[in-house]
Structure 1
Amino acid sequence: MNAPIVTTAPPPSVSSGSLLSKLEIDLRMLGMLAALAVIWIGFDILSSGFFLTPRNLWNLSVQTASIAVMSTGMVLIIVTRNIDLSVGAILGVVGMIIGVAQVRWLPAWLGLEHWLTAPLAVLLAVLIGGAIGLFQGWLIAYLAIPSFIVTLGGLLVWRGAAWWVTAGQTIAPMDTRFKALGGGVEGALGATATWIIAALACGLIVVALGLARRRRVRFGFPVRPGWADAVLAAVACAVVLGAAFIANSYPLPAGTARRWAEANGIAWPEGGLFIPHGVALPVMIAVIVGLFMTFIARRRRFGRYVFAIGGNPEAAELSGINTRWALMKVFGLMGVLCGISACISTARLNAATNAAGTLDELYVIASAVIGGTSLAGGVGTIAGAMLGALVMQSLQSGMVLLGVDTPLQNIVVGAVLVLAVWVDGLYRRRIK
């Protein structure tokens, strides 16, 4: 008697519906990309073609890095139905402390321009920021004080503490190695490193899409058509390579290039040397933070707990999740990210000032909300928040190029935030 032949049914395929559904593209993400394109083209026309130059786009990426890093943490906080109004003040006080550490404390111990100064300053920033975040999270989670009140108080407390650290004095300059965290000539990775990073990124994109497809097949989930994966890989790689090309199209200033040529024994030609900046270190930091936060949010138990708490706090607690400890960790993580942003911001300015981080809470919250994070909780993406940060910084950068006064800039940012919340409400009512 012949044994029965067992056949395995092929995994279901996402073969029906529109082109966007086959590609599994989020309509909100597509809308943000369209809005960003309109903003860039509009400002480029109004600025007589200056906005879309490699120089301005390179500077725009560096300016976005600090806000983008903090926006990744704000996503998780808003997902849990909370808010953090103190991120700018935490950045300010941490920036002042690490500034004093580099100018007064560490040189007295290690000497000037010691190679340990920059790593110790970064470690100090992460520890102080994390401690502040954990303290605020403890007040919110274990003492049941609303996050709005705790972080509003934190905004005032930490802003005042930033002034108290040096009695209002600006601290400068920073350690030479530390300055690389802020971009500029010190933080430019150069053409070769940029192309290597771009090639590795393209390889990782292809591998990630392949692994995701394999997981779907393994568990019997619907899979995209092969051509859809190929299109996504091609578009993503084109974006990465295009960004690398733009970064390498912005040359070092002539004076800096001449000093580099003299230091390396290279004759200075009549037309000068074209030495590309390459991608900036703070941009790489922001990308790495974004990938790490995405991994935590989508692949780790902690991320699943966070979204469960935001979806239904009572059900999450009844299911055995330690909601208070998870919430405290979310605010601690936000503090760590504020510490990283403080390093980027302080290094970029090459000084620690009392005004650092002022109104950053507005831009961080706006970035998360524009990126699709719902104030009702339970919904949000790290990539969307980082794209939202780029949208917000593009608006500010474009208005600066056009000579728009700061009060009007704030009006525009506030209006965009309200509009984003309204559009989010319309979208959620539509999908229900």
Structure 2
Amino acid sequence: MTAPTLPSAIKTMPGTTEGSILSRLEIDVRMLGMLGALAVIWIGFDLLSGGVFLTPRNLWNLSVQTASIAIMSTGMVLIIVTRNIDLSVGAILGVVGMIIGVVQVQWLPGWLGFGHWLTAPIAVLLAVTVGGLIGLFQGWMIAYLAIPSFIVTLGGLLVWRGAAWWVTTGQTIAPMDGRFKAFGGGVEGALGANATWIIAAIACGLIIVGLGLSRRRRIRFGFPLRPRWADASIAAFACAAVIAAASLANAYPLPGGIARRWAEENGIAWPEGGLFIPHGVALPVVIAVVVALLMTFLAKRLRFGRYVFAIGGNPEAAELSGINTRWTLMKVFGLMGVLCGISACISTARLNAATNSAGALDELYVIAAAVIGGTSLAGGVGTIAGAVLGALVMQSLQSGMVLLGVDTPLQNIVVGAVLVLAVWLDSLYRRRIK
């Protein structure tokens, strides 16, 4: 069968020569709505806080705070897509954080000595391994023992939260290894201005190359094409967003005392007005972006991702088509455990301590981020980018309420109400498009 020629392919594309601008750009309306909601939230909190919310310092901290939830929400998308749920992610983060805290403070110094360069890599590898094993174990019970995911992960929430206390009988473990603290952001995890601009340049290049390769694939297989102006508009908007984020990260300077110490260490004379040394982008933010890109590639380009969405769309048909649904489901939960391990590293490093309460209520924020991002609880539908944006929305709400001095119980009320509202709006949207 011969692929259609380019002119006929272009003619078959809805909205290429006629229709709305959104259809020509192939933009998800719900994603655009989320961006609008995020803008309203940011502007509203900035007005209520007297201009504090939209300062470089607060937005930089907001990006670091979002990283942990955003990483776990990418895995929650795949779990919800398969028509399951994971209520144990916060507890897994807590127990993994306590384990790597004990390893860094009590075990490795006796074997390697204090400040050894292998301490941080070993801690990260251990976190990913332990989290992955916990996820695989829960996935095995769900897939092969046919226990509902709600029950397994609800039990996991209680078991792993209790295990986190049992590891040290509730004691806080601190401080973490100096190199490990970079995973939490802060001064240790700030990459600086030069690295930030290099990352921004690479990101813009990848955006342009990605759009070009996508257009070539469409031409090769005779798929409908966006107008060239549409691709150019998307590239310009995305690159502008990247440059704006880099500029914002570089607009937040290091504290005076730290900047003075850095100048002395590098033999730089301290001027009368001080030095403006930018933080740059934070390492946990870079990790979150890389994880989101890898998860998007896994979900959209690999066979595993297609299997996951096929199972969510119709489990019976997926099994009849030859997909090993149980093994695939087990791997989905194992991947969720790995992501919890990565988030545990970020959370523990950010606090510079392993605490028994780490990850408390994170499952609420992770599930809310995925659902707000467009993942349907009915299964079969969801996007990684939407979940990351949903995590930013949830964290923005929490950060804004903290700035305004809202009590924690009221914060939980707002988050719960937003989650219910998001599910209701999702059901309305799906009834409309049917």
What TM-score, normalized by structure 1, do the two folds share? 0.98
Q: Does 1:150 align with 2:152?
A: yes
Q: Which residue of 1 aligns with 2:351?
A: 349
Among candidates 89, 93, 96, match of residue 95 of structure 2: 93
Among candidates 177, 180, 183, match of residue 182 of structure 2: 180
- Cα distance in 2, alignment partners of residues 345 and 28 from structure 1: 30
Contact (CA 8 Å) 1:202, 1:237: kept in 2 or not? yes
Among candidates 264, 267, 272, match of residue 265 of structure 1: 267
Q: Which residue of 1 aligns with 2:284?
A: 282
Q: Identity percentage over the alignment?
A: 85
Contact (CA 8 Å) 2:193, 2:278: kept in 1 or not? yes
- Cα distance in 2, alignment partners of residues 218 and 390 from structure 1: 37
- Cα distance in 1, alignment partners of residues 409 and 5 from structure 2: 65
Alignment of 1:243-254 (within 5 A): 243-254=245-256
For the residue of structure 1 that corresponds to 2:106, the secondary structure is helix
The offset of 1:17, in angstroms, is 1.0
Q: Which residue of 2 aligns with 1:3?
A: none
- Cα distance in 1, alignment partners of residues 407 and 147 from structure 2: 38
Q: Which residue of 2 aligns with 1:401?
A: 403
For the residue of structure 2 that corresponds to 1:235, the secondary structure is helix
- Cα distance in 1, alignment partners of residues 19 and 382 from structure 2: 25
Contact (CA 8 Å) 2:6, 2:222: kept in 1 or not? no
Among candidates 335, 338, 342, match of residue 336 of structure 1: 338
- Cα distance in 2, alignment partners of residues 244 and 77 from structure 1: 32
For the residue of structure 2 that corresponds to 1:64, the secondary structure is helix
The offset of 1:179, in angstroms, is 0.0
Contact (CA 8 Å) 1:202, 1:240: kept in 2 or not? yes
Alignment of 1:38-49 (within 5 A): 38-49=40-51
For the residue of structure 1 that corresponds to 2:280, the secondary structure is coil
Among candidates 191, 194, 203, match of residue 193 of structure 2: 191
Contact (CA 8 Å) 1:79, 1:306: kept in 2 or not? yes
- Cα distance in 2, alignment partners of residues 109 and 213 from structure 1: 54
Contact (CA 8 Å) 1:15, 1:224: kept in 2 or not? no
Q: Which residue of 1 aligns with 2:424?
A: 422
- Cα distance in 1, alignment partners of residues 366 and 95 from structure 2: 17
Q: Which residue of 2 aligns with 1:358?
A: 360
Q: Which residue of 2 aligns with 1:51?
A: 53
The offset of 1:16, in angstroms, is 2.0
Q: Which residue of 1 aligns with 2:171?
A: 169
- Cα distance in 1, alignment partners of residues 6 and 283 from structure 2: 48
Among candidates 12, 15, 18, match of residue 17 of structure 2: 15
How big is each residue's C-alpha offset from its partner over 1:30-71, in whole Å with a ceiling of 9 and x where there is no partner? Answer: 000000000000000000000000000000000000000000
- Cα distance in 1, alignment partners of residues 384 and 6 from structure 2: 35
What TM-score, normalized by structure 2, do the two folds share? 0.98
How big is each residue's C-alpha offset from its partner over 1:117-162, in whole Å with a ceiling of 9 and x where there is no partner? Answer: 0000000000000000000000000000000000000000000000
Q: Which amino acid aligns with 1:358?
A: A
Q: Which amino acid aligns with 1:363?
A: Y
- Cα distance in 2, alignment partners of residues 317 and 349 from structure 1: 45
Q: Which amino acid aligns with 1:388?
A: G
- Cα distance in 1, alignment partners of residues 353 and 315 from structure 2: 43
The offset of 1:8, in angstroms, is 4.2
Q: Which residue of 2 aligns with 1:81?
A: 83
Q: Which amino acid aligns with 2:162?
A: G
Q: Which amino acid aligns with 1:86?
A: S
The offset of 1:15, in angstroms, is 2.4
How many equivalent residue pairs? 426
Contact (CA 8 Å) 1:187, 1:282: kept in 2 or not? yes
- Cα distance in 2, alignment partners of residues 363 and 9 from structure 1: 45
How big is each residue's C-alpha offset from its partner over 1:380-421, in whole Å with a ceiling of 9 and x where there is no partner? Answer: 000000000000000000000000000000000000000000
For the residue of structure 1 that corresponds to 2:97, the secondary structure is helix
Q: Does 1:298 align with 2:300?
A: yes
For the residue of structure 2 that corresponds to 1:105, the secondary structure is helix
Q: Which amino acid aligns with 1:217?
A: I
- Cα distance in 2, alignment partners of residues 215 and 108 from structure 1: 55
Contact (CA 8 Å) 1:189, 1:278: kept in 2 or not? yes
- Cα distance in 1, alignment partners of residues 419 and 205 from structure 2: 36
- Structure 1 moving runs of 4+ over 6 Å: none
Among candidates 233, 236, 244, match of residue 234 of structure 1: 236
For the residue of structure 1 that corresponds to 2:109, the secondary structure is helix
The offset of 1:9, in angstroms, is 4.8
Among candidates 121, 124, 132, match of residue 122 of structure 1: 124
Contact (CA 8 Å) 1:130, 1:336: kept in 2 or not? yes
- Cα distance in 1, alignment partners of residues 6 and 127 from structure 2: 54
The offset of 1:368, in angstroms, is 0.0
- Cα distance in 2, alignment partners of residues 305 and 226 from structure 1: 33
Contact (CA 8 Å) 1:170, 1:351: kept in 2 or not? yes
- Cα distance in 2, alignment partners of residues 354 and 105 from structure 1: 19
- Cα distance in 2, alignment partners of residues 254 and 193 from structure 1: 21
Q: Which residue of 1 aligns with 2:369?
A: 367
For the residue of structure 2 that corresponds to 1:274, the secondary structure is coil
Contact (CA 8 Å) 2:6, 2:219: kept in 1 or not? no
Contact (CA 8 Å) 1:72, 1:293: kept in 2 or not? yes
- Cα distance in 1, alignment partners of residues 245 and 275 from structure 2: 22
